[in-house]
A and B are shown apart, each in its own frame.
Chain A
């Protein structure tokens, strides 16, 4: 019986045949901490008797959730982490670079075949680089900082094969929202979701990141895509001297489940309150009044997402009844968007453009909703209270649907503007 890509990554690390269901203490190739979960991880590292971290070069730190510090408490957490980074010689990107997952990807901190952990649930996004990447809590991270290893239960895999060509203004976000609606919020608990098929092969890295990012919304331990030319070209610009090698599931690998999706008739999707798996075709909620639109986050805050929104916007303006908040996911993506003239276009059309951060997705910093308000967001979670009041409503969608709706002031099919 063949092996899945996930089993191969663990087998490679442990130098023996490892299969799904095994529990192994595996070394990690990278670890990421940010301003929300980092302070507790550092505290746990010390409580565990930690003196020096396992390898400062394999750890990255940055602040993205509450930046620039939105409270004295947040500022104190930042100071605590900066001190730790300086003492331990850890690279700290601080508040300047952007959202953690985007930074790990664009700075080349995750590569095919590696095991990467992050103290954030959307760490699963690095599966787009062919890494096994998973989110962990602060105590687990304290253990990793000390020992450079962690217990993993090697997950079974769900094979999600995607074929067909997207309709105009339909894309990766609509696909992953439809997969979430199909599998359910716990449909992949403790499993890896392996995305494959012609549609995935034709997706660029941004769309692949969007898909892997949301694997956690089905309970998955990770999302992963076997590396191909797209992946290796992306890596070549980020890791000097990296050489492609073969890494893919065997044709006779054992899967917990096999699903196939055809996107050729997929319509723009909207996840309705208050769960990510409550996705419906946009037509079912078209006309819903909205108060705020957020285009950004680790899920959809890249240049390509803003280009998609700008294409829908054309020469129109955003509705003056809607607050439109646009936040690039990193300094690099911000600059690309800026240099392409899109920032000027958004601001002219009435948007508020903020510096790279998690923004309203974090629900604790800024852009919060009052009771009864409705947000349409390109981020990844629409839980009750996620963006402010527990009596507010959050809908999730693609950048194209967000832009179309921001023009009309109500949820709108992007194919109709």
Chain B
């Protein structure tokens, strides 16, 4: 799958600009992903493509439109050296897999990438790079297609005040 290379501090305004926030459909949002900053993305991104970024991917606004736009464009995995907190949670909640990979600087735009998250690695142009382990609960949420599936199974939340020690 093709890797789409981005730099550090890619903010959610770049991923989906403010003027498109009345849209909630992921396919519609995808048409405007990176509009004005990387116009070829929405035209050329294909199912299974991978975002490759530097530090602090997804900083800024809490808009869930950002991971939805990427998901709508066919992205399943984002590789970055680090993620902004709210984006990281939102990505998992909508069923995207944000993976921490320290070596993204060496990866080029357009590289062929195979993600083997269960094996803790990615293969870029035939070369293997380690990724940080993914907690099991994260898989559970991603595989339930997000937090919604998980929440549907709950009658009430297992709140800390009720589950003593």
Chain A interface residues (CB < 8 Å from chain B): 13-16, 18, 24-27, 36-37, 39-40, 43-44, 47-49, 65-66, 71, 73-74, 77, 119-121, 123, 135-140, 142-143, 146-149, 185-186, 189-190, 216, 219, 221, 275, 362-365, 368, 381, 383-386, 389-391
- Kindly identify, within residues 62 to 105 of chain B, every residue whose CB is under 8 Å from any CB belonging to chain A: 62-65, 82, 84-86, 89-90, 93-94
A384 in complex: contacting residue of B20, B37, B59, B86, CB < 8 Å: B37
A246 to B61, CA, bound (A): 33
Q: Is there an interface contact between A43 and B151, defined as CB atoms closer than 8 Å?
A: no
Q: Which residues of A contact B90 (CB under 8 A)?
A: 137-140
With CB as the reference atom, state the residue of chain B lying closest to A389: B36
A364 to B89, CA, bound (A): 24
Q: Which residues of B contact A135 (CB under 8 A)?
A: 62, 86
With CB as the reference atom, state the residue of chain B lying closest to A73: B22
Max chain B C-beta neighbours (<10 A), residue from A14, A74, A137, A381: A137
With CB as the reference atom, state the residue of chain B lying closest to A69: B22
Min Cβ gap A140→B in Å is: 6
Q: Is there an interface contact between A47 and B93, defined as CB atoms closer than 8 Å?
A: no
Since A137-B93, A139-B90, A139-B93 are in contact, a sample of 16 more A-B pairs with Cβ atoms closer than 8 Å, ordered by chain A residue number, is A14-B160, A15-B160, A16-B165, A47-B148, A119-B62, A120-B61, A120-B62, A136-B62, A139-B147, A142-B151, A146-B151, A147-B157, A381-B13, A383-B13, A385-B14, A390-B35
Q: Is there an interface contact between A140 and B18, defined as CB atoms closer than 8 Å?
A: no
Chain B interface residues (CB < 8 Å from chain A): 9, 11, 13-14, 17-24, 35-37, 55-56, 59-65, 82, 84-86, 89-90, 93-94, 146-148, 151-152, 154, 156-161, 163-165
A113 to B107, CA, bound (A): 46
A178 to B76, CA, bound (A): 37
A92 to B34, CA, bound (A): 33
A302 to B153, CA, bound (A): 44
Q: Is there an interface contact between B84 and A189, defined as CB atoms closer than 8 Å?
A: yes
A48 in complex: contacting residue of B60, B152, B158, CB < 8 Å: B152
Q: Is there an interface contact between B158 and A25, defined as CB atoms closer than 8 Å?
A: yes
Q: Which residues of A contact B36 (CB under 8 A)?
A: 384-385, 389-391
Show 24 A/B contacts (Cβ-Cβ < 8 Å), sorted by A.
A18-B160, A25-B158, A25-B159, A48-B151, A137-B63, A138-B64, A139-B147, A143-B147, A146-B151, A147-B154, A147-B157, A148-B157, A185-B9, A185-B59, A186-B56, A189-B85, A190-B85, A219-B59, A221-B85, A363-B18, A364-B21, A384-B13, A384-B37, A386-B13
A148 to B64, CA, bound (A): 20
Q: Is there an interface contact between A383 and B93, defined as CB atoms closer than 8 Å?
A: no
Q: Is there an interface contact between A26 and B64, defined as CB atoms closer than 8 Å?
A: no
Q: Is there an interface contact between B160 and A26, defined as CB atoms closer than 8 Å?
A: yes
Q: Is there an interface contact between B17 and A121, defined as CB atoms closer than 8 Å?
A: no
Min Cβ gap A45→B in Å is: 9
A26 to B89, CA, bound (A): 16
Q: Which residues of A contact B64 (CB under 8 A)?
A: 37, 40, 137-139
Q: With A24-B160, A25-B159, A149-B159 as known contacts, state yes or no: A121 contacts B62, CB within 8 Å.
A: yes
Q: Is there an interface contact between A219 and B161, defined as CB atoms closer than 8 Å?
A: no
Q: With A25-B159, A186-B56 as known contacts, state yes or no: A66 contacts B14, CB within 8 Å.
A: no
For the complex of A and B, the 3 pairs showing the least CB-CB separation, nearest first, are A364-B18, A390-B36, A137-B90
Q: With A16-B165, A73-B22, A121-B62 as known contacts, state yes or no: A140 contacts B160, CB within 8 Å.
A: no
Q: Which residues of A contact B22 (CB under 8 A)?
A: 66, 71, 73-74, 77
Min Cβ gap B104→A in Å is: 15
Min Cβ gap A18→B in Å is: 8
A139 to B62, CA, bound (A): 11
Max chain A C-beta neighbours (<10 A), residue from B64, B82, B161: B64
A251 to B160, CA, bound (A): 27
Min Cβ gap A361→B in Å is: 9
Q: Is there an interface contact between B24 and A121, defined as CB atoms closer than 8 Å?
A: no
Q: Which residues of A contact B146 (CB under 8 A)?
A: 139
